[in-house]
Amino acid sequence: MDEDLHYARDLFCDFKNVRSLLGSVAPYAKPLLSSTLLRKDIGFKTTVSHSDALLILNHWIASQTNFSARMDQMCKFYTFMSEGAASGEINIKRDFLPLCSIFTPLHGSPSTDSVTGRFMSSNDLYWHDPTGCCEKIYASILMKGNMFPRKMLSVAYPSLHEFFTETCGVPKIPTTSEYLEVLLRLSSVAVPSQVANHVFRVFVRWANDLHSGSYKMDDILFLKESLQKLETTVLPTLGCTWVSLHPSFGLVCWADDDELKQQFQNTREVEFIQFGVLSLDDKQKLDGRVAALMNIIGIPALSKVVYREPMHSGTGNNRGKASLLNWLLPYMQRYIYKMHGDTYNKFQQNEATKLSSLEVIVVEKLSYKYMLKGRDSSCEGRFECSCLLQGNILYATQEADSHSILLEISKLFFDGSVDLHFANFLHMVKTMSKSGSAVEQIEFFIVNNQKVPPLPEQEPAWSFSSSFVAEEIFSPPTAELQPPDEPRRPLKRKKNPGIIESHPPNNPETAPDLETSYISQEEIKVNDIASSSELSKPVVCGPMEDTSVPIKIEGDHAVKENPTTEHMLGIQSTMEVDDEPACLDLEAGSSPSLIDETELTDVDEKLADVAEDGSGSGAGTPGKATVHKPDERSRTGRLGEAAVHQYLAGQLGPSNVKWVNEEKESGFPYDIVITPEGGAAEYVEVKATVTSNKDWFHITPNEWQFALEKGDSFSIAHVVLKGSDKANIMMMKNPQKLCHQKVDDLNFALVMSKKYRKLNQISVSLKSDSKSPTPDESAS
């Protein structure tokens, strides 16, 4: 160590055990004495104590800036120090931590070679960098022959994790400021395209710490302020340059939309952060926590700095679309209140005034171009669209469908982002109303199926401005849409002379039994009851068959066959009754369909009260239909469902047949589920009427969509109630398939409401000298 004279008690004999611990820089006695007795008598040290090790360490720290040692020897030295700390012979907090006491090499080399390094404080080091940035830096520096302190201890001292992290308090990973230093070092030794993914790893670490609450506000402010400095160029870009958030670099953002990215990637005013090739898991992290972090520190998503500038021509009447939104607004508020509480509170506190300023403008043609907010740059492309929300104006073409409009209006509440679930919920409510569902049914479905309860009484209701919809059309946009707080009321029709009656009716609301469906059939009684296997067979169309013996239902929802007519099963008849349409065959290609008369017993007397003989009501002529009250229609439907349930339960067993509306209306597109043991479930939608000669019935879009999805697993059971104790039942399996067969047993029909006809009807006057009619008057 030096050439000075020392007391013998302060010197060590240069033995192997001492040198392996203290290395070459230690107070060794010269020359080495060979006599053991002399060494002992003089007082030279032959072993190293923990106090000796502390004295030597202090000498190393004070002697010179750069210190050379072998890493295997330094590992052994710190292992010896850890043993002293564990035994209590060394007070780490008093004797070790106040000093820059941890040796870190300036470059990598084999552990048996002498390496130059520095002593650093535990606060300036970290155990491991999980992002891989440090290893990348070390590799680049090694190639260039440069030297700098290696602050990551896991490579130099792999066996001393517990001593350094737990006893000495070395951070397990770099801090925010240390990672900035790492990124600065990385940007000085590598090009962005080579290490962009490593930068992303650092951002993931920051985002996770922010999400877990490990970061304090001071850390976030430090990071944000540091990145805004001109010299902190640690952000890799698509143009393979390093930038910071300093204004001199222009707009720096990340691309959350590939289409927008393509539109602006050649614009000089925008720099896109490029994180390299990301896995699916990495992309999810980018869109989630990393995006939230970048938004806080001032790196916006491209979609947040771009807006769509509308370009339109022509104008139209906005009544229908504005009325629809006005009608759905209470449902919007309820949905957001229940499903997005934070969004609701934020909107209610800061942005509720948007509703009072919202306008709906209907145009003939609509397109847009992308523009950068606060800048003159725009993309060259022009894009056609059907609706567009810009500021407080919703632009829409006449052809814009309601679902697209609802998707676009969702941006008003969700910070400019589309919310598909929100739009689907509202579209479902609108579809249910248009398909004829009563307000009570819609409300039941929303509360029980969608779990969206009414607003609390103290919550103020949202509303648009008084000029949002013209005063005369504040009522629902069509006859089918009813306001949420008003019950549906049947409309009475007056026969209009000079207009041919339509068939089905012009307005389903004016027809009897609106909540059920119909098909005309002759009263035929048969003994046969379809079994589960028969329900699974393909259905074919065939003529009606009169092979009937009464079947009585006895007891509680029980069905019994008349044994005297078992020989009638399978009999085929080719007879047709008058000009009635042929019926549907449940036997696979052999016998005609089954129309079963069932006697009802032990049913609710209130339901039975509405089952009256309607043979003379004229229901086959919809224009002359008698209007029934909503509660009568409801009871007719429930009685029909009860009849089909009894019929199927008696044949297949009660455990295999479930009436989903038995307790209350479910809102499902089916009424009965058949679940035979070991077989697939089948679904039955019941359509009931008290009129025997009606040959049409109403089916909702939801029910028809369900029929398309289920195919042969879906049937319609048509029920004609005969008095209070009998019902004729006809099964139609896979109605969609039946409608596409060549015979005309089952056909589609479009039903116009009276209001629709009135709004769209054009009267023309025909001139004898003209080849084409000239529009004379248009109803608006």
Q: What is the pLDDT of residues 307-339, one digit of tens each?
A: 888 999 988 888 889 999 999 999 999 999 999
In this structure, the dihedral spanned by the alpha carbons of residues 705, 709, 710 and 712, taken in order and rounded to 10 degrees, is 100
Is the same domain home to 130 and 244? no
Q: End-to-end distance of the chain based on CA atoms, in angstroms? A: 106
Considering 174, 205, 227, which residue would you say is the last residue of a domain? 174
In this structure, the dihedral spanned by the alpha carbons of residues 81, 86, 89 and 90, taken in order and rounded to 10 degrees, is 50
Is the same domain home to 407 and 292? no
Distances from the Cα of 431 to the Cα of 109, 394, 542, angstroms: 74, 22, 34
Predicted confidence at residue 700, as pLDDT, reads 86
- Mean pLDDT, rounded, for 115-124: 86
> 186-190: long-range contacts at Cβ-Cβ below 8 A with a sequence spacing of 24 or more?
186/133, 186/136, 186/137, 186/234, 187/233, 187/234, 187/242, 189/137, 189/140, 189/141, 189/144, 190/136, 190/140
Confidence band for 526, pLDDT divided at 50, 70 and 90: very low
- Mean pLDDT, rounded, for 344-368: 90
Report how far residue 452's alpha carbon sits from residue 344's, in angstroms, rounded to the nearest whole number: 14
Confidence band for 135, pLDDT divided at 50, 70 and 90: confident
Is the same domain home to 138 and 203? no
Is the same domain home to 374 and 270? no
Task: Indicate the SS3 state at residue 562.
Answer: coil
665-700 pLDDT tens trace? 777 889 999 987 767 889 999 999 888 787 788 888
Considering 174, 192, 213, which residue would you say is the last residue of a domain? 174
Q: Which domain holds residue 284?
A: 176-300
Is the same domain home to 660 and 550? yes
For residue 15, tell me if it sits in a domain: no
Q: Are strands 583-585 and 540-542 parallel, antiparallel or unpaired?
A: antiparallel
Please give the sequence-ordered ranges of beta strands (E in DSSP) within 681-754, or none if there are none. 682-689, 714-722, 726-733
Is the same domain home to 395 and 436? yes
Is the same domain home to 652 and 530? yes
The total domain count for the chain is 4
Distances from the Cα of 309 to the Cα of 369, 395, 412, 471, 751, angstroms: 5, 11, 16, 31, 40
For residue 25, tell me if it sits in a domain: no
For residue 40, tell me if it sits in a domain: no
Report how far residue 172's alpha carbon sits from residue 153's, in angstroms, rounded to the nearest whole number: 10
Is the same domain home to 674 and 582? yes
For residue 569, tell me if it sits in a domain: yes
Closest CA to 551 of 568, 534, 537: 568
Report how far residue 651's alpha carbon sits from residue 674's, in angstroms, rounded to the nearest whole number: 11
| CB burial readout 582-618, b (16+ within 10 A) else e | bbbbbbeeebbbbbbbbbbeebeeebbebbbebeebb
Identity of residue 146? N
* Mean model confidence pLDDT for the chain: 75
Is the same domain home to 149 and 212? no
Indicate the pTM of the whole model: 0.51
| CB burial readout 548-563, b (16+ within 10 A) else e | beebbbeeebebebee
Report how far residue 656's alpha carbon sits from residue 532's, in angstroms, rounded to the nearest whole number: 10
Alpha helices in 47-101 (DSSP H): 50-63, 71-87
Is the same domain home to 91 and 183? no
Closest CA to 677 of 660, 652, 696: 652
- Mean pLDDT, rounded, for 214-229: 88
Considering 414, 443, 473, which residue would you say is the last residue of a domain? 473
- Mean pLDDT, rounded, for 79-94: 88
Report how far residue 766's alpha carbon sits from residue 774's, in angstroms, rounded to the nearest whole number: 7
Task: Indicate the SS3 state at residue 152.
Answer: strand
**The tokens 């229901």 sit on which residue?**
619
Is the same domain home to 136 and 209? no
501-518 pLDDT tens trace? 333 333 333 333 333 333
Report how far residue 179's alpha carbon sits from residue 35's, in angstroms, rounded to the nearest whole number: 56
**pLDDT value at 117 more than 80:** yes
Predicted confidence at residue 600, as pLDDT, reads 55
Predicted confidence at residue 769, as pLDDT, reads 56
Q: Are 636 and 688 in contact (CB under 8 A)?
A: yes
For residue 267, tell me if it sits in a domain: yes
Is the same domain home to 743 and 623? yes
For residue 774, tell me if it sits in a domain: no
For residue 384, tell me if it sits in a domain: yes
For residue 674, tell me if it sits in a domain: yes
**pLDDT value at 574 more than 70:** no
Closest CA to 694 of 645, 643, 740, 626: 626
Q: Are 430 and 402 in contact (CB under 8 A)?
A: yes
Give the range among 144-158, 161-175, 191-205 with minimum mean pLDDT: 144-158
Report how far residue 780's alpha carbon sits from residue 762's, in angstroms, rounded to the nearest whole number: 9
* The two three-digit tokens of residue 443, written as one number: 């409300």
Query: Dihedral of CA 37/39/42/43: which sign?
Result: negative
